[in-house]
Amino acid sequence: ILLVAFLGIFVNSLRADEAYQYSETGCKGETIYHTVNIDEKIKVVVINVYSGKHLSHAVFDYSQNIIVYNMPYRGICVIAHMDIETFPALGIFERFIQSNRERRNELARLLRNYEVTNEQVSDLSQFGGAIEGLCTGIPTYWAREEPKPRRVFGVEGCAGIRFLFIHVGLCAGFHLF
């Protein structure tokens, strides 16, 4: 009986973590590799995007309601608050991975846009060791969620993460209006 109980605990703990990998062709014909790790126990999703020198990482921390986006090739880390009322729930990651289908209406509804501010994050320790390790030594800025990307005159640079159904865009720059 103890062996069965031990195996039950062991198997359930293995099921708490999900991992998924896939690749796609980018705009310029390059191969882009994605990995996602879901840990429902600590309510965290980690996405890694590998595209040559354009390596990037995103952490969706549902326990703290924050998103961290690290772009080593740009030398920047960005942190944004997750609007838990409108941001896709943690379970949706697993559902889409298991069904392995993209649905156009749901994709459009899940689109999120964040604008990087000039406000630098001074204390990374408040977000825990994983996020602190991801962004230590890299300029880290706050971002805020916007309903849609704004169209303005000026200079702007955008980057983002795109995984199956979730597209998070990050834009920053100098705007005249």
DSSP class per residue in 113-137:
EEEEEEEEP--GGGG-HHHHHHHTT
Asked whether the CA dihedral 51, 150, 91, 124 is positive or negative, the reply is positive
d(CA 58, CA 46): 6
Q: Indicate whether 7 pLDDT > 60.
A: no
**Count of CB atoms within 10 A of residue 105's CB?**
7
d(CA 134, CA 76): 10
Residue range 131-146, pLDDT digits in tens? 888 889 988 988 888 7
Largest distance between two CA atoms of the chain: 71
Q: Indicate whether 64 pLDDT > 70.
A: yes
Q: Regarding predicted confidence, which is higher, 155 or 110?
A: 110
Stated pTM of the model: 0.66
Tell me the residue type at 162: R
Tell me the residue type at 170: L
Q: Which of 14, 37, 132, 135 is nearest to 94 (CA)?
A: 37
